[in-house]
Chain A
Amino acid sequence: MAERTVELASKHGLHARPATLFTQTVAKSGLPVQISKNGKAVNAASILGVISLGIEHGDTVTLVSEAPDSDGLLDELATLLSTDLDAE
């Protein structure tokens, strides 16, 4: 089991474009990933699930995957979350 804890850098929170980018990265990998905030976990490939967590700038979130080969993917996702995607 792999796990990463990250602080969200996107200034306007994990909505809209950053959320789409994030969930599509998970969906394309085909690996099961959960994202959680304050103990509430959702499927990280679900745009509606991720949006419903209401993750704002500066919030700490945890990524967890039970898949054996998920380290690379979690690193990539952690980098995405710690980059200010709105600034691009």
Chain B
Amino acid sequence: MSSSLTGTGIGRGIAVGGVLRMPDPLPEPDDTASALTPDAEKERARASLAATAAIIRHRGERAGGSAKDVLEAQAFMAEDPTLIDDIGTRLDSGKTAERAVFEAFASFRDLLVSMGGYMGERATDLDDVSQRVVAHLRGVPAPGVPDPEHPFVLVARDLAPADTALLDLSKVLALVTSDGGPTSHTAILAREKSIVAVVGVTDALTLADGTEIVVDAATGTVTVAPSSEERTAAEAKAAEIKAARSSATGPGALADGTLVPLLANLGSADGAADALEKGAEGVGLFRTEFLFLDSSSAPTVEEQKAQYKRLLEAFAGKKVVVRALDAGADKPLSFLNDAPEENPALGLRGLRALRANEPILRDQLAALAAAEAETDADVWVMAPMVSTVEETRYFTALAREVGLKTAGVMVEVPSSALLADRILADADFASIGTNDLTQYTLAADRLLGSVASFQDPWHPAVLKLVGEVGKAGRATGKPVGICGEAAADPLLAVVLVGLGATTLSMSPSALADVRAELARFTLDEAQHFAELALSANSAVEARGAVTTAAASQ
């Protein structure tokens, strides 16, 4: 007899497979005196460090590609002579190998964190290696992402970016998490990579390794130990979804032929070929931060121009929306703003930070204009986190001054959505960043797990603001794009079009599902769904009402 658990489904996929639990992180080793001699402890530490380095290296060889470089660097950390000396000193003072390893890694971790930027991000690698060595010393399984040689359904509390970087997605049939909402890292990954996922399943951690389950994202249910009928039905549905996805090709359009161009969100020119292959009709959000990360100063106009040209050449004849450097609360750049702030999300960020460093913004726009002049792409430029009409005028005037003909703004702050008619009187277009718009509308930090339940773009308050921008777009005849996570949620994408969005931009892997979903409904139906969502009391009600209406169409 099967039983079922429920949570929030991400996308519409369905999968059947065996459970594999993500091991819990190890507790911190106790700081008690060792019963062994320092030399004996040193031998234990040496053996476990060497074994861990060898295991990590083996995984790297199997993974290949960029994961191999990451893992190779981790193996070197486990063999690092300075670290080994540091562990030795701690062992001489009578500590256990577990404690000495833990402390030595932690002290280097703190050092990397204090250096910030790229090195700060490597701190999680040190934590990972530290946990692995301590697990080896204790003779327990290494924490972190399971890595079996067969496909599995991963069940976890929630996944951190460090976990998913090492996840072999080709073996993951589905993701089920006990924590996290529709905008958690797990949900974002699932949408980006088009993996079946149900998040926020309260009792997920009661699932034992090896249990067969059906994960149905469309209904948000996890069926435990399905009957053979249930398994067959799920497999048939999965095949049907796969067929629908591969038959949906060509430009994005609703069932009545209304065109909704589907664009790609890209973080560097490297993803261009993949985006085009998946049917992107252009780029709706080109993030330029990658040019600036790991630098203590901004790159030169020439360096930037070369990078922009690479991207624009790949999209010759197509639209490419470039976002000016966005130093966010979650991605600070020291040369833009290194003053500590109590509330960075409400601080000197986005266009505010650029304006305080106008030469950097001018250089970036000049590099973009120069790259456009030498290529055939249709370049649009937009400013991040614009909150006033005055800021809109400032940015568009500057962009036009350097020769960029299409200048717009990102609508991420409620004030911009509410005054969209006035903003669009000046800007050539608006692009709604739903992640930040949700964060600011519901006053819920998008990186804070404890308020994750507020971070839902289905919330009627967020949709109402999107509708304001849509209305202003129609009144002024200016395009309104969506470039946040919301556009990658197939059914929500239909609602956004109903609210007046004219283009949708997302991670390339989400394009097929969204394209298939748009083709199921007419503009009238999309507008009807939008009304249903707007009249709901909560995100859950809005999603429920539209899901029910869509199923009966």
Contact = CB atoms under 8 A, between A and B. Distances in A.
Interface string B52-64: 0000000000000
B394 interface: no
Nearest to B73: A20
A51 B81 contact: no
B119 A15 contact: yes
B546 interface: no
Contact of B119 (A16, A23, A43): A16
B76 A42 contact: no
A27 B80 CA distance: 10
A51 B112 contact: yes
A52 B294 contact: no
Interface residues of A, number: 20
B83 A46 contact: yes
B296 A43 contact: no
B535 interface: no
A43 B115 contact: no
A11 to B, nearest CB: 8
Contacts of B83: 46, 48
Query: Chain B: interface residue count, which band?
Result: 10 to 19
Contacts of A11: 295
Given A43-B82, A48-B108, A15 B294 contact: yes
A12 B296 contact: yes
A56 interface: yes
A13 B82 contact: no
A74 to B, nearest CB: 18
B76 A24 contact: yes
A42 B119 CA distance: 18
B119 A12 contact: no
B75 to A, nearest CB: 11
Contacts of A73: none
B119 A49 contact: no
B80 A47 contact: yes
B118 A16 contact: yes
A76 to B, nearest CB: 19
Contact of A49 (B82, B112, B294): B82
Interface in B258-309: 294-296
A20 B83 CA distance: 15
B111 interface: yes
A12 B294 contact: yes
B504 interface: no
B77 interface: yes
Contacts of A13: 296
Nearest to A11: B295
B294 A51 contact: no
A35 to B, nearest CB: 11
A77 interface: no
A30 B538 CA distance: 64
Nearest to B126: A48
Nearest to A19: B119
A11 B112 CA distance: 19
A45 interface: yes
Given A12-B294, A12-B295, A15-B119, A49 B76 contact: no
Given A16-B118, A51-B115, A51-B119, A46 B296 contact: no
A28 B83 CA distance: 18
Interface in A37-87: 42-43, 45-49, 51-52, 54, 56
A48 B119 contact: no
A48 B80 contact: yes
Given A15-B118, A54-B115, A46 B80 contact: yes
Interface string B78-122: 001111010000000000000000000000100110010011000
B164 to A, nearest CB: 21
B535 to A, nearest CB: 52
Contacts of B118: 15-16
Contacts of B295: 11-12
Contact of B81 (A15, A20, A45): A45
Nearest to A46: B82
A67 to B, nearest CB: 15
Contacts of B296: 12-13, 56
Contacts of B108: 48, 52
Contacts of A52: 82, 108, 111
Contacts of A23: 76
A86 B73 CA distance: 18
Interface centre among B73, B82, B115 (most CB of A within 10 A): B82
Given A15-B119, A24-B76, A47-B76, A42 B82 contact: yes
Contacts of A56: 296
Nearest to A24: B76
Contact of A47 (B77, B85, B111, B115): B77
A43 B294 contact: no
Given A15-B294, A48-B108, A20 B76 contact: yes
A41 B5 CA distance: 58
20 contacts: A11-B295, A12-B294, A12-B295, A13-B296, A15-B118, A15-B294, A16-B119, A16-B294, A24-B76, A27-B76, A42-B82, A46-B81, A46-B82, A47-B80, A48-B77, A49-B80, A52-B82, A52-B108, A52-B111, A54-B115
Interface of B: 73, 76-77, 80-83, 85, 108, 111-112, 115, 118-119, 294-296
